[in-house]
């Protein structure tokens, strides 16, 4: 990958994509005590930077190649970029999506691509979906459009960095880049390492899908045995060989964010900054609290996508509250006698501690009845007092750990 390839992609894309703003963020600047800017790719065409790579790739095909049609696999954002390019270039495309792709993204793909696009749901994570799409390409003779594992895709994604350095002419200390398959990272790192070598690059992954960290540790892309699909836009079990070849020798810092912290940041972006970010889109800003160094100057966070289904916010709030230590679950065994519940309400709970879930099942026992109880606390420090009152209570109470298999039934 070269800066010349990225410059060529920038010329192709300039009349096609939006030059997204680089906006200061007062909340995060105060947190970091350094100027923090957000590169708003969440308001790009298709609400993601992915259109840059997709259009650059498909526009580079010959007429004969486009006449055979294109096929791709995507968690949703790349699919929207492909859909846009197919409609603009009048090319038929088939898009394979994992079952975890939110309904909102599926609807957007249909709206953007119109009659030029067919959707196929296959597999639960990106890697399974990609296998199905590659098989389609072999059988039908279609051109496969990689989500990240191709030089033309990487060059298109790298135009994000071209805009950042044009928009912020003063030196930038750090650029934080969300990572799934590492196409965006490879493009940004290529441009920045040559055009602004003093700028540090931080690659941030979901805690449950650290495929880049695994690849760097092994010296080559490796397949993760388990991937958490919650951050659907970055839930990739193996980084691409092409982007890995670009970034492996560059001075890139790694960071990761647990899903609960990511959910907290999504809520902050929405409630404080007025930004609707999908989970992958909040990775960069969520990583500010987990940087491996202290920035000494301006920081740019790439908000990579804004395709978040509003129906997911109840789950996002739940995960955030659990991560912040504000929501806890307990198994409480009540004796089958008058006043047992009243004792729990009056003597175990304190002011401001609210029951948000109570599921009581008497079953067949005449002596006791178990209940699943969820409690919200006004602050994390209140847990100590609650546990002390529970220990002093005659009730049998067991706290459910977020690591417990039982906890998965609460979501």
- Annotated active-site positions, please? 50, 304
Reading the block at residue 353, the tokens are 């501690």
Contacts of residue 27, defined as CB under 8 A and 6 or more positions apart, other chains included, come to 268, 272, 273
Which neighbouring-strand residues pair with 210?
A: none
Contacts of residue 285, defined as CB under 8 A and 6 or more positions apart, other chains included, come to 25, 28, 36, 38, 176, 265, 269, 277, 301, 303
C-alpha span between 391 and 341 (Å, rounded): 16
Scored b (16 or more CB within 10 A) or e, 185-211 reads bbbbbbbbbeebeebbbbbbbbbbbbb
> Within 13 Å and on the Cβ side, how many CA atoms surround 211?
28
What are the φ and ψ backbone dihedral angles of 201, each rounded to 5 degrees?
-110, 130
What are the φ and ψ backbone dihedral angles of 348, each rounded to 5 degrees?
-95, -45
Q: How many residues are there in the chain?
A: 411
Reading the block at residue 67, the tokens are 């006449």
- Beta strand 174-178 with 200-206 is parallel
What are the φ and ψ backbone dihedral angles of 359, each rounded to 5 degrees?
-120, 115
Which residue in this structure is represented by tokens 């009540």? 334
Closest CA to 177 of 310, 300, 335, 272: 300
Cβ pair 82, 133 in contact under 8 A: no
Q: If DSSP codes are grouped into helix, strand and coil, which group holds residue 289?
A: helix
Using the Cα atoms of residue 297, residue 21, residue 47 and residue 149 in order, give the sign of their dihedral.
negative
Reading the block at residue 322, the tokens are 């659990």
Cβ pair 62, 96 in contact under 8 A: no
Closest CA to 361 of 337, 334, 382: 334
């Amino acid at each position: 990958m070269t800066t010349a390839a990225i410059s060529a992609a920038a010329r192709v894309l300039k009349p096609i994509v939006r030059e997204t703003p680089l906006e200061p963020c007062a909340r995060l600047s105060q947190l970091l005590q350094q100027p923090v800017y957000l590169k708003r790719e969440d308001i790009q065409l298709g609400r993601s930077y992915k259109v840059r790579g997709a259009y650059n790739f498909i526009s580079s095909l010959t007429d004969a190649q486009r006449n055979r049609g294109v096929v791709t696999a995507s968690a949703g954002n790349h699919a929207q970029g492909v859909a846009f390019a197919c409609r603009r270039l009048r090319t038929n495309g088939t898009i394979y999506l994992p079952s975890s792709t939110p309904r909102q993204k599926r609807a957007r793909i249909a709206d953007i691509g119109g009659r030029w696009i067919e959707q196929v749901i296959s597999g639960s994570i990106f890697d399974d979906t990609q296998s199905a799409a590659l098989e389609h390409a072999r059988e039908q003779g279609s051109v496969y459009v990689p989500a990240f594992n191709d030089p033309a895709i990487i060059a298109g994604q790298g135009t994000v960095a071209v805009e950042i350095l044009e928009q912020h002419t003063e030196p930038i200390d750090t650029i934080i880049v969300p990572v799934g398959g590492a196409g965006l990272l490879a493009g940004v790192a290529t441009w920045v390492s040559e055009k602004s070598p003093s700028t540090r690059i931080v690659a941030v992954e979901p805690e449950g899908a650290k495929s880049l960290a695994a690849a760097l540790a092994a010296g080559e892309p490796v397949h993760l045995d388990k991937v958490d699909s919650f951050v659907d836009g970055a839930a990739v079990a193996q980084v691409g060989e092409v982007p890995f070849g670009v970034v492996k020798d560059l001075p890139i810092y790694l960071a990761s964010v647990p899903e609960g912290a990511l959910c907290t940041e999504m809520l902050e972006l929405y409630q404080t900054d007025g930004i609707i970010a999908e989970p992958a889109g909040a990775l960069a800003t969520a990583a500010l609290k987990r940087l491996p160094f202290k920035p000494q100057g301006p920081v740019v966070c790439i908000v990579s996508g804004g395709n978040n289904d509003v129906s997911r916010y109840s789950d996002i709030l739940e995960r955030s509250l659990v991560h912040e230590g504000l929501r806890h679950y307990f198994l409480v065994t009540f004796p089958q006698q008058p006043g047992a519940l009243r004792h729990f309400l009056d003597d175990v709970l304190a002011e401001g501690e609210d029951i948000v879930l109570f599921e009581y099942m008497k079953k067949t026992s005449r002596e006791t009845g178990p209940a699943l109880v969820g409690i919200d606390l006004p602050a994390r420090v209140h847990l100590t007092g609650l546990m002390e009152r529970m220990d002093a209570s005659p009730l049998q109470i067991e706290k459910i750990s977020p690591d417990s298999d039982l906890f998965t039934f609460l979501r």
